[in-house]
Structure 1
Amino acid sequence: MKILLVGHGKMGRLVEALAPEFGFDVAGAIDPQSPMHGGGPDAERWRGVDVAVDFSTPDVVALNAPVLARRGIHLVIGTTGWQKDEPAVREAVGHGGIGAVVAPNFSTGVVLFEAIAGRAAALFAAQSDFGAFVHEAHHAAKKDAPSGTALLLKQTMERAGFARPIDVSSTRAGFIPGTHTIGFDGPAETITLAHAARDRTGFARGALTAAKWVVGKRGWFTMKDVLGLQS
């Protein structure tokens, strides 16, 4: 199978390095800053590509994803911060008859952590003395804050029945790969649950797992679908 890299920064290069392990040949990249750049999403060079993995920037997703989808190229999108353009991308995915896996975080541990957060929020929802919070920390170069994962955790907690305000905060410093913490604070005690990424390998492996899974499927999916966690 052939894979196209949309964005060839740190994550894109890691996906490239691990791709053969998952049975993929790398066709090239859409990234003018990369020596692997082979043109835009409509370039003839991408004919025969099975799936594109996007770790780029929000504006790049809005430009490239609809074109790739209409060409019948499946999508795995790990870029965050492009929610305002989601309706257009969803429409293109439908018209192209392809599958798209969209997730703010492709780490298996984070997907399971989200499920744990929902269960914890459901338990604390009835405890009126407890407030809740989400905190995330990432490297200084990460542009969006709060992270897409932090916002997803907040939404999961709300959907689980936690109706009181949930404070969300962020840290951008140094080289932190990614840490997410949820907490419940009462009059005399605090409960915290955390997920910490030691490096980016887990994200790249998750994206490649999603890329292999989505080929041949149609529709809009998340990592819960990939891992078989959807009810």
Structure 2
Amino acid sequence: MRIALFGYGKMGQMIAQIAVSRGHEIVAKIDENSENIDFSTMDVAIDFSMPEAAFGNITKCLNNNVPVISGTTGWLDKYEDAISLCEEKKGAFIYASNFSLGVNIFFELNNYLAKMMQNLPEYKVELEEIHHTQKLDAPSGTAITLAEGVIANSNYAQWKLDSESQETLKITSKRIGKVPGTHTVAYNSIVDSIEIKHTAHNREGFALGAVTAAEWIIGKTGVFSMRDVLNLG
């Protein structure tokens, strides 16, 4: 499989290493906007670029009939436009806030637990995410996805950072050392607590998931998620 990488930072470099170890070829490493891209050399593109570049990269790939995997956050105000373009071009597209296989199983567990707890208002839900000090945005995209899963199955209307409101789902963000990513969902009452947690030990899980998604999407048409890749639906 011939893979083009849009964004060649730490994640892009790790994706390249894992892709090559699985027998794939990296045919392009695009770290800045470029008009001279040969899309005919690509079987699939993986985008871990900057928020301001992501939608443009996705658009170019779909317009050139290249399936695209995107893990870039911060551009989702244009997500519906990407879906429309994918459908118009009969292309293939996957976006995920986190490509880790373990995290996507954690998402499913979070949704299931939220459904079980939705009729127990005595439990207050709180989310915490911890990342390395180089991660400047907060909360993480993964924490937002977890919050959305809780909100969809509860009486919470919205999430906020460090909120103390009873009606608002509180997310706490911490930046500590070189932590790759730890996410905790806790249900607390006056009598007990229930907690689920995912701890990433390194970045390799995120990169492996992106490569796995790229392998899966070849030959398919449509807008998909990691639930499809992992057959969790």
Give the structure-2-normalised TM-score. Answer: 0.90
Q: CA deviation at 1:81?
A: 1.4
The correspondence of residues 181-220 of structure 1 with structure 2, limited to 5 A, is 181-220=184-223
Query: Residues 106 and 204 of structure 1 are in contact (CA less than 8 Å); yes or no, is this contact kept in structure 2?
Result: yes
Partner of 1:149: 142
C-alpha distance 98-165 of structure 1, shift in aligned 2 (>3 A): same
Q: CA deviation at 1:187?
A: 1.1
Partner of 2:161: none
Q: CA deviation at 1:91?
A: 2.4
Separation (CA, whole Å) in 2 of partners of 1:44 and 1:170:
38
SS in 2 for 1:47: helix
Query: Residues 22 and 209 of structure 1 are in contact (CA less than 8 Å); yes or no, is this contact kept in structure 2?
Result: no
Q: CA deviation at 1:44?
A: 4.2
Separation (CA, whole Å) in 2 of partners of 1:76 and 1:152:
18
Partner of 1:18: 18
Gaps of 5+ in 2: 157-166
- The residue identity in structure 2 corresponding to 1:15 is I
SS in 1 for 2:112: helix
1:196-222 Cα shifts (integer Å, max 9, x gaps): 000011111110000010111111111
Q: Within the alignment, does 1:178 sit opposite 2:181 as a pair? A: yes
1:42-68 Cα shifts (integer Å, max 9, x gaps): 424332301111111111102211111
C-alpha distance 23-101 of structure 1, shift in aligned 2 (>3 A): farther
Give the structure-1-normalised TM-score. Answer: 0.91
1:172-229 Cα shifts (integer Å, max 9, x gaps): 2321101100000101322211000000111111100000101111111110010001
SS in 2 for 1:207: helix
- The residue identity in structure 2 corresponding to 1:5 is L
Query: Residues 66 and 88 of structure 1 are in contact (CA less than 8 Å); yes or no, is this contact kept in structure 2?
Result: no
- The residue identity in structure 1 corresponding to 2:181 is G
Query: Residues 53 and 207 of structure 1 are in contact (CA less than 8 Å); yes or no, is this contact kept in structure 2?
Result: yes
Q: CA deviation at 1:96?
A: 2.7
Query: Residues 6 and 53 of structure 1 are in contact (CA less than 8 Å); yes or no, is this contact kept in structure 2?
Result: yes
- The residue identity in structure 2 corresponding to 1:191 is I
Aligned partner of 1:120 among 113, 116, 119: 113
RMSD: 1.5
- The residue identity in structure 2 corresponding to 1:176 is V
Q: Within the alignment, does 1:166 sit opposite 2:178 as a pair? A: no
Query: Residues 39 and 64 of structure 2 are in contact (CA less than 8 Å); yes or no, is this contact kept in structure 1?
Result: no
Moved over 4 A (4+): none
Gaps of 5+ in 1: 33-38
